[in-house]
Amino acid sequence: MQLKRVLTLRTVVATSAGLTLASSSFIAAVQVAGFLLGDTAWIAILVGGVFCFLAAACFSELNGLLPTAAGIRLYFRRAFNDQVSLTISILYMLIVIIGVVGAESCVISSVLNEAFPAVPSYAWIVLMLLAVTGMNIRGVKITGIFQDVITYGLITSIIFFGLIALYKVNFQLNAPLAPGSASGIINAVAIGVFLFVGFEWVTPLAEEVTQIKQISRGMMIALGILSVAYALFTVGMTAVLPKETLVHSASPQVVFARAVLGDAGVLWMTTVSLAATITTFNAGMISVSRFMYASAREHVLPAVFKKVSIRFFTPWAAIVTLFFIGLVVAGVTLFTQRYVMLVELAAAMESIVYALTGLAVISLRRRLPDQPRPYLIKGGYLVPALTTIVFTILAAAVFTSNLWVLIYMAVAFLICLVYVNTTVPYLRKKYQAGKPAAKRRRPVRTAKEVEGKYE
């Protein structure tokens, strides 16, 4: 059974922005400001946004060339080889799930504990994951409408808070072009990338949009809006409160809101944070479940994940599995409180994937020179080459600033490599062994047939 094409540009923008617009983004924004002097955090944020535009252009060309729910799995397989593709895509999915759910769980728990101290932190996470899981199973159109309303409301609130703060302090930029040392700028931009983490996870929705060009447009629009919103909000925070106060808080946005609007601000920001977490969980589940569905269709993940609801046309098995994974990740992160590490780990993983995306564009232009490209980056190889160079430097900056991030990444990479070299061959042999018996009952579509013209 196939997925249903019902998503419009409005929902693509909301999904792209929704996964990035998380409560943990406020933590990342404060870290960005901490690396820089004065009130120059906006420089690193806007530079990070521009760099992500380069990556978005690369994703747009690849998605137009190979529009599939498999996303980077298929891009990298065609550009490099099957082992590299499998290892990186599984590692990417793993880090995104752990990083986003883990960091979000800690931040939102801190916010809600202040507002409702009698309710256990973990109970809130369970309720939110249950609500998101139910919406995702019911259908992508319902989920998309929810995503639209919440995301656009969040963006408006963040911009409004930033403007109020700047107005209250009669803000003026002091030494706007003196952010500090080169190493501080590089680290700030590297962490600033986390503010946009996940904008590209709309590419797995390629089989559910009404027009394929909506994916590239949606990513670009989302990045533009988020760049402005984050810059305003971060400068507003550091203009009202000392950076030291913000850095040592697990919920700096609430501290900021109290300083700006008192108790009313706390209530408003608590609502914003709750909505941000729900929309992040929702957008993540929409995209990652489609990636799992496509991977199972290629016999990379167990076959159960390719099951689609007959009634709602959604990959229900993948969605339910993500619910239980989210519960485990949230529980472990709440216990360890290592959420800052997860922010840095996710930023490093995103940078690696973006660098490889630039290389994939270059490789596929050489391997598939005559295949139609609905979206073609202008300027030859300049943009993909810049994307690869810039994000390689940013990934290295994160690793050198915190060696534990490099160690955790290496361990996760080895786990994924072992899975690719042991479990994947087993799954494929199991599929091949079951083909003759299946053919006697009904025709079976091969992975190549499913991918059709993209293979």
* More confident call, 228 vs 103: 228
- Average pLDDT score over residue span 152-175: 84
Task: Name the band, by pLDDT with cuts 50, 70 and 90, for residue 454.
Answer: very low
Q: Convert 406-424 to b/e letters by CB count within 10 Å (16 or more is b).
A: bebbeebbeebeebbeeeb
pLDDT at 455 over 60: no
Query: Can you tell me whether residue 418 is helix, strand or coil?
Result: helix
pLDDT of residue 179: 65
Contact status, residue 90 vs residue 419, Cβ threshold 8 Å: yes
What does pLDDT average to over the chain?
81
The residue type of 327 is L
Beta-carbon neighbour count of residue 110 at 10 Å? Answer: 21
pLDDT of residue 410: 93
Contact status, residue 125 vs residue 329, Cβ threshold 8 Å: no
CA atoms of 109 and 334, how far apart (whole Å): 8
- Average pLDDT score over residue span 239-243: 85
pLDDT at 447 over 50: no
pLDDT at 214 over 60: yes
CA atoms of 71 and 327, how far apart (whole Å): 25
pLDDT of residue 402: 85
pLDDT of residue 362: 95
pLDDT at 386 over 90: yes
Q: Which CATH superfamily is domain 9-454 in?
A: Amino acid/polyamine transporter I (1.20.1740.10)
* More confident call, 439 vs 64: 64
Nearest alpha carbon to residue 446 among 430, 425, 431, 424: 431
Contact status, residue 207 vs residue 223, Cβ threshold 8 Å: no
Angle of CA points 314, 356, 368, to nearest 5°: 80
pLDDT at 330 over 80: yes
Query: Can you tell me whether residue 316 is helix, strand or coil?
Result: helix
- What residues have CB less than 8 Å from 382, skipping those under 6 apart? none
Give 146's Cβ-side CA count (13 Å radius): 21
- Percent of the chain surpassing pLDDT 90: 16
- Average pLDDT score over residue span 243-252: 81
pLDDT of residue 446: 47
Sorted by where each begins, the domain ranges of the chain are 9-454
For the whole model, what pTM was predicted? 0.77
pLDDT at 205 over 80: no
Segment among 47-51, 235-239, 243-247, 365-369 with least mean pLDDT: 243-247
In 368-402, where does DSSP find H-type helix?
Answer: 382-401
Task: Name the band, by pLDDT with cuts 50, 70 and 90, for residue 364.
Answer: very high
pLDDT of residue 3: 52
- Average pLDDT score over residue span 115-132: 83
CA atoms of 149 and 431, how far apart (whole Å): 42
* More confident call, 107 vs 5: 107
| Own/partner pairs, 140-144, CB within 8 angstroms, 24+ separation | 140/3, 140/4, 140/6, 140/7, 140/205, 140/208, 140/286, 140/313, 140/314, 141/6, 141/7, 143/282, 143/286, 144/6, 144/7, 144/8, 144/11, 144/14, 144/15, 144/286
pLDDT of residue 223: 92
CA atoms of 351 and 357, how far apart (whole Å): 10
